[in-house]
Amino acid sequence: MVETAGKSILFDPFISPNPLAKDINISKITPDFMLISHGHQDHIADAVEIALQSGCTCIGIWEVMNWLEKQGVTSTLGMNIGGGHDFEFGRIKLTNAVHSSTMPDGSTGGVPCGFIVENSNETFYYAGDTALFGDMCLIPKKHKLKTAFLPIGDNFTMDIYDAVEAAKLVQSKHVIGMHFDTFGYIKIDHTTAIDVFARAGIELVLMKTGEIINI
Ligand code: NI
């Protein structure tokens, strides 16, 4: 969850089935907005419950928002790649992500996406689950990033080496790692990861579950 301009934005909630998040009680999570990058279970597991209890507005690809509405979620904004929308806390734009997207019940999730969140204080890129792809270089043409949230766990997404190249393409010197350690397939060596980024002049932050940081 990110707090900016007085609003809380929750991304891809995978908490109650997450072996690394046992201490987090989802009944206490009440975001103003929820951004969903794609339909996979490890990104949407708690989305319906949190949306219903908080009344937050859910934002993402049209097909994923359609699915949430079928589960009873009423406040959604379906968007698509390349489109942006102005909210009270700033602007959100959907970016490409090279991955797949199927909903937990097997129905289509359309295509996966990433997000750029921008307001007068900060701009950040949340890549979602993705491979490294060349068009990331287009992002800094319009958006000067303060930080980038990049997947680094390998197997399903970029590994640390591709994520360094991604950070260079989006021109962010500050990266918050995502999509690592949760399962055996994506366990990483933290010291190696931080060193590989540092050698490229990029700070990699590996947050602990429940940790709060200022950016
Ligand atoms: Ni995924």
pLDDT tens for 119-135 read 998 999 999 999 999 99
Give the pLDDT confidence score for residue 137 in this predicted structure: 98
128 C-alpha to center of ligand 1: Å? 8
Cα 84 from Cα 86, distance rounded (Å) = 7
Which one, of 182, 183, 180, lies nearest residue 151 by Cα?
A: 180
Per-residue pLDDT of the chain (215 residues; tens, 9 = 90+): 999 999 999 999 999 999 999 999 999 999 999 999 999 999 999 999 999 999 999 999 999 999 999 999 999 999 999 999 999 999 999 999 999 999 999 999 999 999 999 999 899 999 999 999 999 999 999 999 999 999 999 999 999 999 999 999 999 999 999 999 998 999 999 999 999 999 999 999 999 999 999 98
- Other Cβ atoms closer than 10 A to 80: 13
Give the pLDDT confidence score for residue 25 in this predicted structure: 93
Label the pairing between strands 33-36 and 113-118: unpaired
Cα 84 from Cα 117, distance rounded (Å) = 10
3-class state of residue 67 by DSSP: helix
Give the pLDDT confidence score for residue 146 in this predicted structure: 94
Q: Is the dihedral of CA 196, 200, 201, 205 positive or negative?
A: negative
Full-model pTM = 0.97
175 C-alpha to center of ligand 1: Å? 19
126 C-alpha to center of ligand 1: Å? 14
38 C-alpha to center of ligand 1: Å? 7
Please name the helix (run of DSSP H) or strand (run of DSSP E) that holds residue 85, with its range, or none.
strand 84-87
Length of the chain equals: 215
- Buried/exposed code over 136-168 (b: 16+ C-beta within 10 A; e: otherwise): beebeeebebebbbbbbbbebbbbbebbbebbe
Protein residues with C-beta less than 5 angstroms from the ion ligand 1: 40, 129
Helix axes 62-70, 47-54, angle to 10 degrees: 70
pLDDT tens for 10-31 read 999 999 999 999 999 999 999 9
8 C-alpha to center of ligand 1: Å? 23
- 8 A C-beta contact, residue 120 and residue 143: no
Residues 6+ apart with CB under 8 A from 175: 147, 148, 149, 150, 163, 167, 197, 202, 203, 204, 205
